[in-house]
């Protein structure tokens, strides 16, 4: 029996191929796997990999051999299956494969391949779009909030000996469960930032005071032995301190390298104004892109956004693992189940892919170009965001094969500026209030007046060839990923 292929249309840009391989193809996959793995097997009296197969084969890891055989089978048969189906495949996105069954003895292999077709974009009218512009006025409240931020950064910690614990104090406490051997657990906490029951117990306690009580510890509590339990403990305060903030006067202003308090407020107002204008520009262009999305028709393969979502979820899981948390625990902190968090990322990934395609289409339609100067400017902006030197940023982009991210940032900036310049923009009737905590955080003013929020390009140059107008996701592996069905 020869290989059989049937196909199902999932959507406009995704086709599923159902492939049933024949016995000869299954055998070829295992034979290749054997030859590859045998090279690493040393048997006395023979060169590596040169011993009889009957001696080498029992020494191979069966699971690894089966996995490599499956990869070989898919690699050898998928291209043939696609060619036979006459599909025009999107070269920028690899197919994804789900292995349904794979049996060497029976000579059987069945898999599903989700094959991406090129995206389809019918661009709506993008000139003269309408959008409302939020108010960017810098209020006195904004300025005072920023000054308070500077005060907090320059506060000094002082020991507290003449009063009990208050919210915001920093305390070194000791927790010891009844019956626990040793000295218990010592940790530093900020009062009001632990959990409700512990904060309540600590409130009003003096240094060296001890309480004995039952506490219900949350799942996220940092001491694993107590997390998620209801335990009777002794709570003691080893030391107590609070942050003393400097007075707001000309001396404080001079510490920030300004002439006096009036000069400090003026510089904060200017810097906040530029930051707010930048934020407003982003809000307006987001609205313009949303309007364009509604009037356009965009179809993308599932593979494009699924791979992006999976990559982002993997990155988040790795970040949380470094902090000792699971992705499920992190999702719970965000008020979601793990599945809800995954679904939210999948939806967001599809939205990002569709928006990126619209941006690309406008860029190409308007015959825009990316110069090395544009890339250098964007490199400096990225470096500023990560607080590293441009040279270091460029090395990181090279190491992660992410230079296309730099290029897309330039393309996106150009398209956003173009849409803004072409749009019909009116001011919102109501001032958009900035809630406390959402005021843009700024560095302390320098001795020279800042020219702009966005950093200028440095002498560091991007030595890549002149960037093309095409936008693409980070380069994908050409070999499809094989997932075996549980």
* Domains contained in the chain, CATH given: 4-116 (3.30.70.1050), 130-145+258-484 (1.10.3120.10), 156-244 (3.10.50.40)
Angle between helices 390-399 and 372-386 (to 10 degrees): 100
In whole angstroms, what is the distance from residue 385 CA to residue 48 CA?
A: 52
Q: Name the pLDDT band for 385 (thresholds 50, 70, 90).
A: confident
The number of beta carbons lying within 10 Å of the beta carbon of residue 161 is 11
What is the residue-averaged pLDDT of the chain?
85
65-115 tens-digit pLDDT? 999 999 999 999 999 999 999 999 999 999 999 999 999 989 999 999 999
pLDDT, residue 226, reads 92
Torsion sign across C-alpha atoms 379, 381, 383, 385: negative
Q: Give yes or no for residue 44 having a pLDDT over 70.
A: yes
Contact, 158 vs 241, CB < 8 A? yes
Q: Is residue 432 pLDDT above 70, yes or no?
A: no
Q: Bridge partners of 173?
A: 187, 237
Q: Looking at residue 176, what DSSP letter applies?
A: E
Is residue 320 helix, strand or coil?
helix
Give the mean model confidence (pLDDT) for residues 263-284: 91
- Mind listing the pLDDT tens digit for each residue in 113-167? 999 999 999 999 999 999 999 888 999 999 998 888 888 888 777 888 888 999 8
Q: Which residue has the higher pLDDT, 252 or 117?
A: 117
What helix, strand, coil percent values describe the chain, rounded to 5? 45, 20, 40
Residue 451 has pLDDT above 50, yes or no: no
pLDDT of residue 480: 52
On the question of pLDDT at 391 being above 70, the answer is: yes
Question: b or e along 297-312 (b: 16 or more beta carbons within 10 Å of the residue's beta carbon)?
Answer: ebbbbbbbbbbbbbee
pLDDT digits (tens, 9 = 90+) for 365-376: 999 999 999 999
The DSSP result for 241-303, as a single string, is: EEEEPPP-SHHHHHHTTSSSHHHHHHHHHHHHHHHHHHHHHHHHHHHHHHHHHHHSEEE--HH
**Among 188-197, 253-262, 286-295, 473-482, the least confident range:** 473-482
Q: How confident is the model at residue 441 (pLDDT cuts 50, 70, 90)?
A: very low
Give pTM, 2 decimals: 0.67
At residue 356 the predicted structure's pLDDT band, cuts being 50, 70 and 90, is very high
Rounded to the nearest angstrom, the gap between the alpha carbon of residue 428 and the centroid of all alpha carbons in its chain is: 32
pLDDT value of position 314: 94
Q: What is the pLDDT of residue 482?
A: 52
Q: Residue 1: its pLDDT value, please?
A: 60
pLDDT of residue 468 exceeding 50: no
- The residues with which 231 forms a beta bridge, in sequence order, are 215
> Which one is predicted more confidently, 273 or 1?
273
Tokens of 444: 């302390």
**What is the CA angle 191-194-199, rounded to 5?**
55
The HSE-up count of residue 66 (CA atoms within 13 Å, CB side) is 14
For 26-36, letters b (16+ CB in 10 Å) and e give bebbbebbbee
């Amino acid at each position: 029996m020869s290989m059989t292929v049937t196909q199902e249309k999932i959507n406009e840009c995704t086709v599923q191929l159902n492939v049933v391989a024949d016995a000869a193809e299954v055998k070829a996959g295992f034979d290749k796997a054997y030859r590859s793995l045998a090279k690493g097997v040393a048997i006395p009296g023979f060169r590596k990999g040169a011993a009889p197969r009957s001696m080498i084969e029992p020494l191979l890891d069966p699971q690894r051999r089966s996995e490599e055989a499956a990869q070989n089978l898919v690699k050898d048969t998928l291209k043939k299956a696609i060619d036979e189906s006459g599909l025009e495949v999107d070269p920028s996105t690899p197919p994804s494969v789900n292995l349904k069954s794979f049996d060497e003895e029976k000579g059987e292999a069945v898999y599903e391949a989700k094959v991406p077709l090129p995206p389809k974009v019918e661009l709506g009218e993008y000139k003269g779009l309408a959008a409302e512009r939020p108010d960017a006025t810098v209020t006195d409240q904004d300025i005072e909030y920023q000054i308070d931020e500077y005060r907090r950064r320059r506060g000094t910690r002082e020991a507290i000996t003449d009063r009990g614990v208050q919210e915001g104090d920093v305390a070194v406490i000791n927790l010891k469960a009844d019956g626990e051997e040793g000295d218990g657990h010592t940790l530093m906490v900020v009062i009001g930032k632990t959990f409700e029951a512990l904060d309540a117990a600590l409130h009003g306690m003096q240094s060296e005071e001890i309480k004995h009580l039952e506490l219900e510890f949350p799942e996220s509590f940092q001491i694993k032995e107590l997390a998620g339990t209801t335990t009777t403990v002794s709570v003691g305060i080893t030391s107590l301190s609070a942050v003393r903030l400097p007075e707001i006067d000309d001396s404080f202003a001079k510490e920030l390298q300004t002439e006096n308090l009036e000069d400090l407020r003026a510089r904060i107002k200017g810097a906040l104004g530029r930051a707010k204008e930048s934020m407003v520009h982003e809000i307006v262009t987001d609205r313009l892109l949303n309007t364009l999305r509604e009037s356009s028709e965009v179809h993308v393969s599932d593979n494009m956004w699924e791979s992006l979502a999976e990559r982002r979820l993997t990155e988040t899981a790795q970040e949380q693992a470094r902090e000792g948390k699971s992705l499920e625990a992190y999702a719970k902190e965000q008020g979601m189940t793990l599945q809800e968090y995954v679904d939210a990322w999948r939806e967001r990934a599809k939205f990002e892919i569709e928006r990126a395609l619209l941006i690309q289409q406008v860029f190409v339609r308007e015959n825009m170009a990316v110069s090395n100067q544009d890339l250098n400017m964007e490199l400096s902006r990225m470096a500023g965001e990560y607080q590293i030197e441009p040279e270091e940023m460029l090395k990181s982009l090279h190491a992660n094969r992410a230079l296309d991210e730099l290029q897309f940032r330039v393309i996106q900036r150009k398209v956003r500026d173009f849409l803004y310049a072409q749009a019909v923009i009116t001011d919102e009737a109501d001032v958009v209030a900035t809630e406390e905590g959402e005021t843009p955080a700024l560095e302390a003013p320098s001795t020279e007046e800042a020219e702009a929020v966005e950093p200028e390009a440095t002498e560091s140059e991007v030595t890549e060839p002149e960037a093309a107008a095409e936008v693409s996701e980070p380069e994908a592996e050409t070999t499809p990923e094989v997932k075996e069905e549980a």
